[in-house]
Structure 1
Amino acid sequence: MKLKEIAKRIAGIFLVFLILTLCWSASFYVTSWMFNYFGSEPSLYIKQIGTSIFGFFIFGSLMFFISRISNVRERQINFYRPIIVAMERMSQGNFNIDLTVFLKQVNSRDNPLFEVGQSVKRMAEELGQMEKVRQEFISNVSHEIQSPLTSISGFANALKNTDLTIDERNHYLTIIETESRRLSKLSDNLLKLTSLESDHLSFDPKVYLLDRQLRRIVLSCEPQWRSKEIEMDIDLLLLNITADEGLMDQVWTNLIHNAIKFTPQGGKISIVLQKDEDNEAVIQIIDTGIGMSKEVQMHIFERFYKGDKSRNRLVEGNGLGLSITKKIIDIHQGDIKVKSNEGTGTTFTIKLPIGGKQ
């Protein structure tokens, strides 16, 4: 038996003796006062019997009062137990809770406890959804990492074959190099996404020419769109904007690369910059590519979402580019929308406050 438990037991015994002593002392003084008040002087034996009976009465009444308080406390604990159990489960990562019984006991929407129960229920649902997103994110990251690693490992092992021709060896090395770049890009995008979602993001808005930035990004992508003989139509209003130029570089690069990627040989891409009546910069990136379904449009800005895998299996990417794009635009308090039909192309419309983030 531990020393702490022994000390607790001794303290308990001492407390009982103390209560008994106080009860019998109170009984002695009360019975003595009563005998004096009525002018009666019974024998010592009768006095002791009276003192003992009254002492038991005081002790019993005290114990009854304590038990009643204990029962009330126990009933209160039992009443709140569903909430307590729910919070304990949530602390352990189990967000599947049921507060139906508790909400029925409260039995009134005007009762503050009803709102407490509803709040806990909503919190559990939201945390459960966050946990689901977290697990999906980990699963997607694992898949995106495993795929290039498998290729690298397989072709690196194949290079051990001394009978390979120079062309075969170069082909395998090219695949290893491509998959390594894919891993590096995934790592960069994950770091960018983490940085954008952190509270310590370096956000440095400055005034600069948005049309000049768009022209620069288009020129940097010239080898890609020229190799596919894509017609590039540029219609840009001379416009100053207050924004983080480095972050916005990422936005335009992602969107223009996507337009080039999904536009077939000999297609067309249009980039338009205007100012609307709300004094916002409106940028449209329009392509004549493969387009996308309504369902794909609903999820296009989600992490790792790649749309129809069967149609895009030859297209590289890890599904993080548009998620990063939307996050950057949100940081600038802007808006991005997509409009598309399968087989007829896609239009991304971005609106940004000219004066910068308010």
Structure 2
Amino acid sequence: MSEQGFVIVGASFAGAKAAETLRAEGFDGRVVLVGEESDLPYERPPLSKGYLLGNDPRESAFPHDAAWYADQRVELLLGHAATAVDRASKTVALADGSSVGYDKLLLATGSRVRRLDLPGADLPHVRYLRRIEESEALKAAFAERPRVVVVGAGWIGLETAAAARTAGCEVTVVELDTLPLRRVLGDEVAAVFRDLHTDHGVAFRFGVKTREIRPDGVVLETGEELPAGLVVVGVGIQPNVELAGAAGLAVDNGVVTDAGLRTSDPDIYACGDVASWEHPGLKRHLRVEHWANALNGGPAAAKAMLGRDVTYDPVPYFFTDQYDLGMEFAGWFEPGGYERVVFRGDPATREFVAFWTAGGQVLAGMNVNVWDVTDDIQAIVRAGWAGTTVDTDRLTDPDVPLADLHA
């Protein structure tokens, strides 16, 4: 190994976990972590959950403090955007004109928010949520109790709506689809989240586009004007693939990798939001934008960079906390790619487990205000991916232990 060592582009949670794993696995060479943001690597869930709500301190978002990076001899190049990767010379060019060489390179460049393209979208009271300073700005704005319009009823839109309502703001959510989260959860479970928010005083406008944003509100395509002192936009994210694409790496809805997170260049790896990896269990490429993929993908990529035999095949997992509802989801299916949703418990009580099935096989499961069942749900999902069918009557019977359904 030369003195160049390992370079991680993306001072993200995934990047931090990769650096941590390199040291834990005994790598003693140079480790450089390059990040466009000036903050230390942090986790993103607190930005729309505990930290935004004011329940958790700022420090809770950071997996390590500055002393940890110094102790572990991880070089931090923060506030330094990577502008190019030269695969021939094995160097990464930075925006300040400097460069850093690598023996192995990990791309953990993450994603950025999709922005609205309509009149008024650049007004100062239009906010997005991706970075920690944006969470801080939203928290401060909510404290003033403005009327809030949220554009987009995905996970970020709903979590920010819940935080705004908890702060005492009047909230209206505008969504092009007919229900919140319908594309990812289907009608049956999406209705649970609609009812949760309406019960807490959120108003919805479904099936309508935003036409214009004005200093005092939002105008819909129907002509309706919604008063707003604050507009929060949550219309999705897109992977930061430009660096990889310009370097000639394979890109297709993310940086394409094999099951070991290796790109089309054997010395370059990718993980986290930006990676579209070959998932052995699903037998397809998959790109996942949730926290658990950073938590697990960074370490997997680090081990692969060290020459370990890595097969990255997690059951995709995410969670949300909104008002008094806590949820964990495990599994994956294409939008609309299931036949039935079956429930263990009554969804009207908001204490249940839902299973998405096709051909008698479980594709995904969600536990809502039911705890310590995630491992069993993931095992049932893995069995379903492998072709095992389940008896629906037993699946929905709360007297049948979930462990008995994958034994």
**Which structure shows the higher strand fraction?**
2
With the length of structure 1 as denominator, give the TM-score of the two structures: 0.24
**Which structure shows the higher helix fraction?**
1
Q: Which structure's CA Rg is the greater one?
A: 1
